[in-house]
Each structure stands twice: as structure tokens, then as C-alpha cells.
């Protein structure tokens, strides 16, 4: 059976109105790095949904004569933003077969981020999730019979077609995406919220240390491509599947020492893939490594389960339980802020997922 079929909207009709959604960023604990086909992941991944790092998107929609391509205007933080058009064009081309009624509407899209654009924080996950949710409002306006479960699952499905990790930015507090036999109903098509989560992980903290606010020199999309033919690809995808299996138990029981070990291994494995691809590339900066060393010293001395993870960049995500906040905050201020560009960092924490505004 073609599983995608369930997401084809056959309802026809016109509608007019507006929709506003705020969708959070997410930080992967087990990383998605390598894809195939129509944005399917080579391995399953699991992430914390964040709270304060988010994108808010408003879409005003009105009927027009049907065209082959989706017709839209796009403004980012109050100004026209043609640099985003190629990504948006690709997104709309991919989703049109699933929401054909979009061809008969014009969309006026306005988007803004809660975090500075030049922070080095990837915004494609939150941006694509917020936009996908607005599109689902348009579908729901034409076809009010769709269930809330279908609405959110299809929003994640559409978001994935914009950016893989965006599939994990609809729900919270932890979301898995990609087929894995230990995860109920897991799918390459959309993300699902994890059910059995130890209370410690529902309030986990993520302080994002902004080491390098410059633009990424290597896009995630290229990084994924470099996993094709990568000498360690098979081992990496197996490792990720095994880490997913282990992490499920850890998240359920709250075994923090295992959490630290697993999450740091995943972050370093991701960067090991970059270091050993052809061409190779290094996204960590000297300050990234200084921060990692300082975290490990602090952990050894205090026994506080503070750990780090990285995404495709130089910034460091510091992960720790909410109960440790009082002890971690002065350490961040004295030992880590000096390694941040202009002393900048973002205090974030695990969140519940996207919100309709
Ligand atoms: C390192 O989702 O940005 O953040 O699907 O090409 O848009 P595309 O890639 P993207 O890749 C995210 C990579 C990562 C790991 C992760 O979030 O799992």
C-alpha cells in the first residue's frame, strides 16, 4: 500500500481567511543525518521540542484562478525575502499533490523568528512546521471533517517535505521520526510524540551557547548528500538505530548518566561523519571544543549530569535537569559565556509543541 495516499486531500473548494501558528525549534538527541527518496530518513531520530526558540507564521489566503504552481508572497521579519524563495518553491512543489486545492488560492505569508536570524540556529524546522500548520488550516477550512489527529499528523508530514527535522517540530515534549521497531507506529513519513517520558525530561533545560553566529558554510542538505557513499554510512545508521533503542529506556526511567553518555556520543558521531566525508568539513570552532572540555570538567567535579549536544554548526546546546539550574547558571556565566560570540546565549527548555495564535 502506498502510505502517502492517506495524506492526499481530495476535497475541492475555495476559502478565504487567515491562519497564524507558532512552531518551536527542536534539538535532536539521536541525529538525522542521511536521507533517501522523498525526504525519508536513513535512521530514526528523537528530539526535544524547545519552547522559546520558535517561528511565528501568518498566512492570509484567498481564492484565485487555479495555476500549476502555488502562488504566494513571502515576507520575513517585515521585509520581502527572495533568498527563501527557492526553498519555498521546492516545498510547495512537493506538497501540492497532497493539498491540490492550494493551486486555487493565493497565499500571503509573513514569518518571524524569536531568535536572531544571524544566531546560527537552524530555523528551517520551526519555519516549515509553522507554515505546514497554516496550510493545514486552509485544508481544514475546505474540509472541516478532518480529525485533530489527522490534522497534526499531516502537518508533520508536510513539514517533513520542507525540511526533514521539521517533522519533529509540531508536537512535544519529545518527538520521534523514522521507522524503528521499538517505537510504536513509527514512520518515515511523520513524527510522533513519545508517550512514556520520565518527569525530569519534561522540564529539561537547553541553554544554547552561540559560539559562531555566522552563516553555515555547509548546508544540512549537502551534509545529508555526503552520507551517500560515505565509508562509515552503514555503521552510522546502525549506531543511530541502536541508540534509539537505548534512549527509549533512558527517557522512560530517567537514567541520567546513560542519557549523558548517549547524547554526547550522538553529537560527536554526527560531527565525525562531517570530518570523514568527501569532501570533509569542520563545523566546530576552537571555542566549541573549549566549551566541551569545560562541561566535562564541571561534570567530573560536581557530578551534575550536565551534557552537550551539537547540531550542524558550532553552537553548543547545554542540556541539564531543571533542578540543576541554580548550580549550572553561575558556571555558564563564569566559564562558558566567555567562549560565546559577544557573550550571547539563549536559555531555552523543553516545550509542548506548536501553538495556534
Ligand atoms: C544535524 O532537517 O535541516 O540538525 O531535511 O535537508 O532540511 P533537510 O535537513 P535538516 O537536517 C537536520 C540535521 C541535524 C540533525 C537533526 O536535527 O536530527
Class of CATH domain 200-349: alpha beta
Separation of alpha carbons 132 and 144, rounded Å: 17
135 and 102 Cβ atoms separated by less than 8 Å: yes
269 and 239 Cβ atoms separated by less than 8 Å: yes
Q: What number does the ligand 1 atom closest to the CA of 270 have?
A: 1
Q: Is the fold of 3-195 the same as that of 200-349? A: no
Residues with CB under 6 A from ligand 1: 28, 31-33, 39, 45, 122, 124, 163-165, 220-221, 224, 270, 311-312
Residue 92: helix, strand or coil by DSSP? helix
Q: What number does the ligand 1 atom closest to the CA of 312 have?
A: 1
216 and 281 Cβ atoms separated by less than 8 Å: no
Domains of the chain by residue range? 3-195, 200-349
pLDDT digits (tens, 9 = 90+) for 100-114: 999 999 999 999 999
Q: How far is the CA of 33 from the centre of ligand 1 (A)?
A: 7
Q: How far is the CA of 220 from the centre of ligand 1 (A)?
A: 6
pLDDT digits (tens, 9 = 90+) for 230-242: 999 999 999 999 9
> Which value, in Å, is the radius of gyration of the alpha carbons in the chain?
20
Residue 52: helix, strand or coil by DSSP? strand
Q: Grid coordinates in use for 124? A: 528551517
CATH architecture for the domain at 3-195: 2-Layer Sandwich (3.30)
- 179 phi-psi bin (left φ>0, alpha ψ -120 to 50, beta other): beta
The count of other CB atoms within 10 Å of the CB of residue 347 is 14
pLDDT digits (tens, 9 = 90+) for 249-281: 999 999 999 999 999 999 999 999 999 999 999
Q: Is the pLDDT of residue 118 over 70?
A: no
Instruction: Indicate yes or no: pTM above 0.85.
Output: yes
Q: How far is the CA of 164 from the centre of ligand 1 (A)?
A: 6
Amino acid at each position: 500500500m502506498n502510505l502517502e495516499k492517506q495524506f492526499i486531500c481530495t476535497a475541492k473548494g475555495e476559502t478565504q481567511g487567515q491562519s497564524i501558528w507558532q512552531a518551536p525549534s527542536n534539538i535532536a538527541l539521536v541525529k538525522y543525518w542521511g536521507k533517501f527518496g522523498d525526504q525519508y530518513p536513513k535512521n530514526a531520530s528523537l528530539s526535544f521540542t524547545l519552547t522559546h526558540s520558535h517561528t511565528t507564521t501568518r498566512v492570509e489566503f484567498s481564492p484565485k484562478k487555479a495555476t500549476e504552481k502555488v502562488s504566494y508572497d513571502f515576507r520575513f521579519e517585515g521585509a520581502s525575502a527572495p533568498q527563501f524563495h527557492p526553498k519555498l518553491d521546492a516545498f510547495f512543489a512537493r506538497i501540492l499533490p497532497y493539498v491540490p486545492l492550494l493551486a486555487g488560492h493565493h497565499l500571503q505569508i509573513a514569518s518571524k523568528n524569536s531568535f536572531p536570524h544571524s544566531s546560527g540556529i537552524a530555523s528551517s524546522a520551526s519555519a516549515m512546521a509553522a507554515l505546514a500548520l497554516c496550510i493545514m488550516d486552509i485544508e481544514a477550512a475546505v474540509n472541516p471533517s478532518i480529525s485533530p489527529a489527522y490534522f497534526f499528523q499531516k502537518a508533520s508530514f508536510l513539514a517533513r517535505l520542507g525540511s526533514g527535522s521539521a517533522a519533529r517540530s509540531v508536537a512535544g515534549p519529545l518527538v520521534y521520526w523514522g521507522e524503528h521497531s521499538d517505537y510504536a507506529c513509527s514512520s518515515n513519513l511523520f513524527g510522533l510524540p513519545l508517550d512514556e517520558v520520565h518527569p525530569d525530561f519534561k522540564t529539561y533545560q537547553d541553554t544554547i551557547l552561540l559560539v559562531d553566529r555566522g552563516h553555515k558554510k555547509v548546508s544540512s542538505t549537502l551534509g545529508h548528500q555526503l552520507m551517500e557513499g560515505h565509508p562509515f554510512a552503514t555503521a552510522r545508521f546502525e549506531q543511530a538505530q541502536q541508540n534509539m533503542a537505548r534512549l527509549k529506556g533512558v527517557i522512560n526511567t530517567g537514567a541520567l548518566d546513560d542519557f549523558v553518555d548517549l547524547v554526547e556520543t550522538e553529537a560527536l558521531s554526527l560531527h565525525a561523519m562531517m570530518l570523514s566525508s568527501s569532501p570533509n568539513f569542520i563545523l566546530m570552532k576552537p571555542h566549541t571544543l573549549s566549551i566541551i572540555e569545560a562541561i566535562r570538567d564541571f561534570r567530573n567535579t560536581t557530578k551534575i549530569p550536565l551534557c552537550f549536544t551539537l547540531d550542524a554548526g558550532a553552537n553548543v546546546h547545554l542540556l541539564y535537569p531543571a533542578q540543576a539550574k541554580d548550580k549550572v547558571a553561575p558556571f555558564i556565566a563564569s566559564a562558558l559565556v566567555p567562549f560565546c560570540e559577544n557573550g550571547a546565549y539563549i536559555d531555552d527548555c523543553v516545550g509542548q509543541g506548536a501553538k495556534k495564535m
